[in-house]
Copies of this chain bind each other. A is one copy, B any other.
Amino acid sequence: MGDAHAEQMYREVMLKDPPEAATPFEVATLDFVFGQVWPRDGLSRRDRRLVTLTCVASADSPQPIEDHVYAALKSGDLPLEDMLEFILQLAVYSGWPKAAHCEGAIYRQWARIHEEQGEEPPPWPMLTNDVLGISDFEKRIFRGAQEFADVNLMPAPRPMSPYRHAGILNFVFGHVWQRGGLNRRERRIMTVASCAVDDSPTPLKTHVAASIHSGDLTKEEMDEIVLQFSAYYGFAKGEAFQVAADDAWAKMPLGNLDDWRRAAEATPWDVEPVVPFEMPA
């Protein structure tokens, strides 16, 4: 059976009793998702929550968003500050509207958690501009090019379009990836899940490969991410994700990665850009 086991896992993850399983969907939710996926080794609970939150937020599923945000906050697996960092990374990779909706859920569930404890929510953390990073644009973009090389293991693109200039170099790698709250490995976990939802072919391939080639995620961890993802976002998209993981692994090692970092550090856009985002052979 495994029911008691699955029900206990449901309680640990969702912080409530499982519903009566009346339909095939509900039975499979308990039996497969909570009985067979969540209990697996290989990823921490916090890691599995990052994958799951990315999936439910990307899926716009109203009730699952509320439930998983509540459970992530209440369990302490993702404290409020980390949840809010999650939202910014989500905005970049899944788009602003989904992030706006999910951040609303954080407000609601944060209030609910404190109400359940019969207490006022503590004052909301306000941010000051000194956390916004380097304000000199020359330095910021140079630093963005370095961060791009470190994250993507390829030279940064030249500032040849608003997307690459104001977007990628200035904001995404010039700022977001350098923030605290979530470390680089955790941002990678979210990003590969978001790219797998999205399934634009090259970003998925690139981010999965860089996550493995950098050593931030092992092949075994990536495989666990694919399964957790498939449970929440389906085996159709899961398959392309798995293929990307297998391909990246088959192509290890990549050569001298330090060369790319050095190339990027030296003269970020005097090296020929690699367009569109192809991994070096």
Contacts and interface: CB of A to CB of B under 8 A. Distances in A.
A31 B126 CA distance: 15
A233 B55 CA distance: 11
Number of copies of this protein chain within its complex = 3
Contact of A24 (B97, B100, B101, B179): B179
Interface stretch (A114-122, A240-248, A254-262): A240-248
B98 A200 contact: yes
A160 interface: yes
B234 A91 contact: yes
A3 B127 CA distance: 14
Interface string A193-210: 011001111111000000
Given A25-B242, A179-B24, A234-B92, A161 B87 contact: yes
Contacts of A88: 23-25, 28, 161-163, 166-167
A200 B60 contact: yes
B36 A124 contact: no
Contacts of A163: 84, 87-88, 91, 99-100, 103, 223, 226-227, 230, 235, 238-239, 241-242
A162 B224 CA distance: 6
A50 to B, nearest CB: 14
A271 interface: no
A271 to B, nearest CB: 14
Interface string A38-75: 00101000000000000110011111110000000000
Given A96-B167, A198-B234, A275 B28 contact: no
B26 A242 contact: yes
Contacts of A1: 129
Contacts of A200: 60, 97-98, 100-101, 199, 236-237, 239-240
Contacts of A76: none
Contacts of A8: none
A152 B271 CA distance: 36
Contacts of A23: 84, 87-88, 103, 127, 223, 226-227, 242, 245-246
Given A28-B91, A64-B236, A161-B245, 20 more contacts: A1-B129, A3-B129, A24-B85, A24-B224, A28-B227, A29-B91, A55-B234, A59-B98, A60-B198, A84-B161, A88-B161, A88-B162, A93-B97, A93-B235, A95-B232, A96-B234, A101-B201, A128-B159, A200-B237, A234-B234
11 contacts: A25-B87, A59-B234, A60-B61, A64-B101, A96-B233, A125-B160, A127-B162, A128-B159, A161-B245, A166-B227, A167-B231
